[in-house]
Amino acid sequence: MTEETPKPHKRRVRYSGKNPRRFEQKYKELDPEKYAEAAAHIIAKGQTPAGTHRPICVKEIMELLRPEPGAICLDATLGYGGHAKEILSRILPGGKLFAVDVDPIELPRTVARLRALGYGEDVFIPRKMNFAGIMALAAEAGGGFDCVLADLGVSSMQLDNPERGFTYKADGPLDLRLNPERGRPVAELLKAVTADALEKILFDYADEPHAKTIARAIKESAVPVKTTAELARIVREGLKEAHTKLDEEVIRKSLQRTFMALRIAVNEELSVLDRLLDILPWCLKPGGRVAILTFHSGEDRRVKKSFARGEEAGVYASVSPTPIRPSVEERHSNPRSACAKLRWALRSAKPVQ
């Protein structure tokens, strides 16, 4: 019997200064289970530890969905698993939570965390898929779900990791795909799209008031835009040249909207949402409940109109008259929750025709 060769010791990433600045250097934040005190300190400051995500409107969602022992539920956007963890704690014994996500990087990490908490395959059933596949899951669940949750926001661990290309705050490849194994990154989209089409993307998906200026600046760039820093520079310089009196806060918001619009476009998020809204009634049991968290007006309008049409047709017995917003305390504690809107619907007790 041969002795195993000991693994070489791997030193942690070193950084200059008192606190790490780069994502990959934040080893304590990236391991909140081991450094719980450090993570709690960051949360107390109203920030999110790197590589993690803080679920939004948890109390409100649980009150709306009312998951209870024996319930069969679906988390249509698993993400970091914060909402899933709360649902799982309420549906035992006898319940099951199906959960889907398209992110091949974060999904296995979240599954591992929830498995470590004792939620086995008989209770927690994860799948790598988008909304279009949940009809099949409803059949697997025995004819539908008692409750469905869809949190449409991008998770903080995706936003914060420069390698995913979701943010202008750090340099990285201009990607923005939720599933980097499919489709084309934003860098490729920008090479192929016309200035008029790009202007339409920025206006339709983010209500960007300077869409024409930004689209022209990007398309007139002397070299193809390949990184997040390059895109941010081009947008910033284009806005300053065309609108000399714009202050930094206005430019910052335009940068946020630009990245959001391009993310929505490259992931086809609104068409995927439309598909979810179309099939939802056939995925819910009679009397089942659905809650959807949205983060921009394009999403919220779709959910509002779909629920209203369903109520008028008798598919839903009742729907939220107005969106529910995060509490003042939550918006202060977690600024990323500020733009969230929560809407709900109750499936009619009658079978869907």
DSSP string, 131-153: GGGHHHHHHHTTS-EEEEEEE-S
CATH of the domain at 230: 1.10.150.170
Same domain, 132 and 205: no
Residues 231, 174 contacting (CB under 8 angstroms): yes
Using CB atoms within 10 Å of the CB of residue 329, give its burial: 0 to 12 exposed, 13 to 18 middle, 19+ buried: exposed
Higher pLDDT, 216 or 158: 216
pTM of the full structure = 0.83
Q: What is the pLDDT, as a whole number, of residue 333? A: 87
Does pLDDT of 336 surpass 90? no
Residues 170, 162 contacting (CB under 8 angstroms): yes
Same domain, 253 and 200: yes
Q: What is the pLDDT, as a whole number, of residue 22? A: 46
**Distance from chain centroid for Cα 47:** 17
Residue 151 lies in a domain: yes
| Distance of alpha carbon 142 from alpha carbon 145, whole angstroms | 8
Residue 83 lies in a domain: yes
Q: Which residues pair with 151 in a beta bridge?
A: 293
The tens digit of pLDDT for each residue in 98-142 reads 999 999 999 999 999 999 999 999 999 999 998 878 999 999 999
CATH of the domain at 76: 3.40.50.150
| Distance of alpha carbon 331 from alpha carbon 189, whole angstroms | 34
Q: Which of 12-26, 56-70, 235-249, 325-339 has the lowest mean pLDDT?
A: 12-26
**Residue indicated by tokens 């839903």:** 316
Higher pLDDT, 89 or 34: 89
Residue that is last in its domain, among 205, 236, 268: 268
| Distance of alpha carbon 71 from alpha carbon 93, whole angstroms | 9
Bridge-based pairing of strands 284-294 and 145-151 is: parallel
Q: Which domain holds residue 213?
A: 162-268
Phi and psi angles of residue 149, each rounded to the nearest 5 degrees, phi first: -120, 135
Does pLDDT of 32 surpass 90? no
Residues 132, 85 contacting (CB under 8 angstroms): no
Same domain, 166 and 295: no
Residue 30 lies in a domain: no
The tens digit of pLDDT for each residue in 38-68 reads 444 444 544 554 456 589 999 999 999 999 9
Burial code (b: 16+ CB inside 10 Å, e: under 16) for 66-76 equals ebeeebbbbbb
pLDDT > 90 fraction of the chain, expressed in percent and rounded = 72
Same domain, 253 and 274: no
Does pLDDT of 261 surpass 80? yes
Q: What is the pLDDT, as a whole number, of residue 43? A: 44
Residue that is last in its domain, among 246, 268, 290: 268
H or E element: which one contains 90?
helix 82-91
Same domain, 66 and 143: yes
SS3 99: strand
User: Structurally, how many domains does the chain consist of?
Assistant: 2
Same domain, 280 and 147: yes
Q: What is the mean pLDDT of the chain?
A: 87
Same domain, 128 and 65: yes
Residue 295 lies in a domain: yes
Same domain, 252 and 264: yes
Does pLDDT of 217 surpass 90? yes
* Total residue length of the chain: 353
Same domain, 233 and 319: no
Residue that is last in its domain, among 224, 247, 268: 268
Which tokens hold the place of 25?
A: 């250097």
Q: What is the pLDDT, as a whole number, of residue 25? A: 40
Q: pLDDT confidence of 168, banded at 50, 70, 90?
A: confident
Same domain, 130 and 182: no
Residue 255 lies in a domain: yes
Same domain, 93 and 103: yes
Same domain, 148 and 278: yes
**Distance from chain centroid for Cα 202:** 19
The tens digit of pLDDT for each residue in 263-312 reads 999 999 999 999 999 999 999 999 999 999 999 999 999 999 999 999 99
